[in-house]
Structure 1
Amino acid sequence: MPRVRRCRYPGCHTMCQLPDHYCKQHYEHEAEYLASRQKWARSHGTEYQRKYNNVTRYRDDTKSAQYHFYKSRQWQSLRKQVLERDHYVCQYCGKPNSKTVDHVIPIEFDSKLQADTDNLATICRDCHRLKTAWEQRHYGTGKDNQLIAGAEPIHDVDVIAKLMTL
């Protein structure tokens, strides 16, 4: 039996055989669609990935080491310990089923706390987004930012939770 998919034309629910994207009635749009896909693929090819890796991920030795730490077995073990310790509950807002582990004090600010479980907390996606923005203002972390020399490290999750919502 041939594999089929729904026609990509808006409002058309006719099934068409793979590899086509449009049914017989709307087939004139097929060439335009394929051309747009090829154009996107050319603009997001290996050069795009290389630029992302060199400019963002591996922009300096420190960021490269941080990225490799997050791929290590040590991090996987620490992450699992913290998730079980916090029972998969966000320590900032109390949302259950949170699966992200975050450094309370960012490792860009203090790299000695990288593998310290006391500096790790479970966090949900919404709080992680707010906390990252707060860290950029408070510590000066993030891409193209300069660390603030006189920034006082805050260890208390409850205090950070209040500050990041201001």
Structure 2
Amino acid sequence: MVQLPKHYCEVHKDQEREYKPRDKTATHRYNTVVRNRDGNKSSQYQFYRTRHWVALRQATLSNQHYLCQYCKVQGRVTAAKTVDHIVPIEVDQTLKANQRNLAVVCPSCHTAKTRWEQSYYGTGKDNWLRPVRAINDVATIVKIMNDV
């Protein structure tokens, strides 16, 4: 048994420092304010909560064997569970349910790609979309990200 306020028993007490409770206020604010900051973002958020998205995501994970496609292009094998749009929904709404526009991505590649999207496309909060050509090839995106 665990004696409160501890979160782990004596056997697993070495993991105590790794436990970080979620900030419920920040999570609530993110889900209700940031994700719904405008009609476009609100519809994107709602899409991710549909059965269609859940099925697309699972099919993509299975087809790509839970491996980061961005690492794979660079000759690395990295397990991943996130499915990302190659061309962001903000750039082209018509590709949001297109499985060819989806790639499995690990956390570090996802962070790098998000930064790249913000600088290239102008996606994200407080940015303006730029009139640039959409890039739908993972290898090309990796090359551009590495050249920057």
TM-score (norm 1): 0.69
Secondary structure of 1:142's counterpart equals: coil
Per the alignment, residue 63 of structure 1 pairs with 41
Higher relative contact order (CA 8 A, sep 6+): 2
Larger Rg: 1
Which of residues 77, 81, 88 is equivalent to 1:99? 81
* Sequence identity (%): 46
- Counterparts of 2:127 and 2:39 in 1: how far apart (Å)? 16
1:6-61 per-position Cα deviation (integer Å, ceiling 9, x unaligned)? 88xxxxxxx9xxxxxxxxxxxxxxxxxxxxxxxxx9xx75xx66643453110011
The answer to whether structure 1 residue 89 and structure 2 residue 67 are counterparts is: yes
**Structure 1 residues not aligned, in runs of 5+:** 8-14, 16-40
Which of residues 136, 144, 155 is equivalent to 2:126? 144
Q: Where in structure 2 are the equivalents of 1:114-125 lying within 5 Å?
A: 114-125=96-107
**Structure 2 residues not aligned, in runs of 5+:** 11-22
Secondary structure of 1:161's counterpart equals: helix
- Counterparts of 1:90 and 1:55 in 2: how far apart (Å)? 30
* Aligned-residue offset at 1:156: 1.1
Per the alignment, residue 72 of structure 1 pairs with 50
Secondary structure of 2:144's counterpart equals: helix
